[in-house]
Amino acid sequence: MILRHTLLFTSISLILNVRNYVNVARIGNFPNKKILVRFVKVGLVSVLFGSFGYIGFNFAPIPLNHIDEETFDSKDDLVVVILKNKRSYSKEQIERLKSVLPKHISLFYTLKKSNTGMSVMLYKGMRKKYYQTLNLLDEKALNEFSSDVKLFFQPQSQEIDTINNDSIPQFVTYDSFNQDVIEESKRAPILVQLFEENCFLCFLLRPFINSVNKHLISTNNPLRIKRLNIELNDFPEGCPVTRATPTFVYYDGNPNGTKWDEFKPKDFSEKLFKTTMMDEDSKKYIEELAEKIPERFMLFGKLALWLSESQKMQELIFKSQSEDFELSSDEDLYNKSISLLMDIDMKRSDDLEENLENLKTEIESAEKDCLAIAQLLALDVIKSESNLIT
């Protein structure tokens, strides 16, 4: 469409120049060769500059900053406008969008070829809300969106009284972060683990971190580990933004903390040794703990397998009683077992040594359950065959 308009503009300019030339010729003032060349040059220059001006107007830059991965990974309180291309947007809609955003909100744009109209995504903490199509030229839609924005960007915090347990690292929330981390770190250093309940590595490290914190307390080390669930809490002031978990942030009186790059057990241990004073026995103990994490992974996988096998045999029994019953795939059963066991495990407060023993006990129990269900299935098969014979 832009190209067509440009060609039309160019054609009109050429026609006007030709008409002027013809009029000159008609009144008998036909120019000499030099005048003619100059006349054509002026006409062409005016056409070119006029065309580029028209193109520049239509290809004017979007009055927003483009969001990139680095910005997204480091900033909170974002609104991102999703456009089809750099030309298909309404300046008036963007201005209306700006008018309803709180002052602390950052507004960006990104491009998506398959997009139609103007879409908008809101981000706060790990939360997000998507508006597939927005027409902010409509007053009702604008007012509804304005109300949604104010509600969405209200900080989210857990209730602190419902989550703490003296036997594990202290949980902190959005509301308690300033007192429990920023202020307390002025007296003694604090290491905050940012985690999500559905993060597999967070789950795998859970009892290991419990053991490390327990050891710090028992050896009178001043460093304490605390946890912030960023699924259920927005990023408090002083907490760096992260889109990946687990992330560890060290506070020693600095209100903004220092984000660690280390998160794997061995790397975490080495960073810990450089951060706080420990004797050789403590270092050796923590290194041995880190080496036991693969065993936890193996035992957990074994438990999930036994659980999924038990579920599979139960489904076979149900199937024998009802032809309409649909059997789940082995992959679905295993994934469901993993998810269920993770949910249960993340609510526990055991340390790594206790957890390994608990897993071994649970595996023995799961094996027995599986054997019992197999016997029931066998009896059911025998009964069915007997009925067929009689």
Tell me the pLDDT band of 9, cut-offs 50, 70 and 90: very low
Tell whether the model's pLDDT for residue 370 goes beyond 80: yes
Q: In percent, how much of the chain has pLDDT > 70?
A: 80
Tell me the pLDDT band of 381, cut-offs 50, 70 and 90: low
Residues 118, 83: contact at Cβ < 8 Å? yes
Winning range, highest mean pLDDT, from 135-144, 186-195, 367-376: 186-195
Q: What distance in Å separates the CA atoms of residue 251 and residue 190, rounded to the nearest whole number?
A: 5
Tell whether the model's pLDDT for residue 44 goes beyond 50: no
Q: Where does residue 35 fall: left (phi above 0), alpha (psi -120 to 50 degrees), or beta otherwise?
A: alpha
pLDDT of residue 86: 80
CATH topology of domain 160-291: Glutaredoxin (3.40.30)
Q: What CATH number should be reported for the domain whose range is 65-152? A: 3.40.30
Give residue-wise pLDDT tens across range 114-133: 777 789 999 999 999 999 98
Contacts of 283 (CB under 8 A, 6+ apart): 269, 273
Give residue-wise pLDDT tens across range 225-281: 999 999 999 999 999 999 999 999 999 999 999 999 999 999 999 999 999 999 999
Residue among 44, 54, 63, 62 at smallest CA distance from 4: 54
Q: Is the C-alpha dihedral spanning 229, 233, 238, 242 positive or negative?
A: positive
Q: Which helix (H) or strand (E) holds 150?
A: helix 139-152
Give residue-wise pLDDT tens across range 282-313: 999 999 999 999 999 999 999 999 999 988 88
pLDDT of residue 363: 96
Q: How many CB atoms lie within 10 A of CB 113?
A: 7
Across the chain, mean pLDDT equals: 84
Kindly report the three-state secondary structure assignment for every residue of 336-372: HHHHHHHHHHCCCCCCHHHHHHHHHHHHHHHHHHHHH
Contacts of 37 (CB under 8 A, 6+ apart): none
The domain segmentation of the chain, as residue ranges, is: 2-58, 65-152, 160-291, 294-389
Residues 46, 72: contact at Cβ < 8 Å? no
Tell whether the model's pLDDT for residue 5 goes beyond 50: no
Q: In percent, how much of the chain has pLDDT > 90?
A: 65
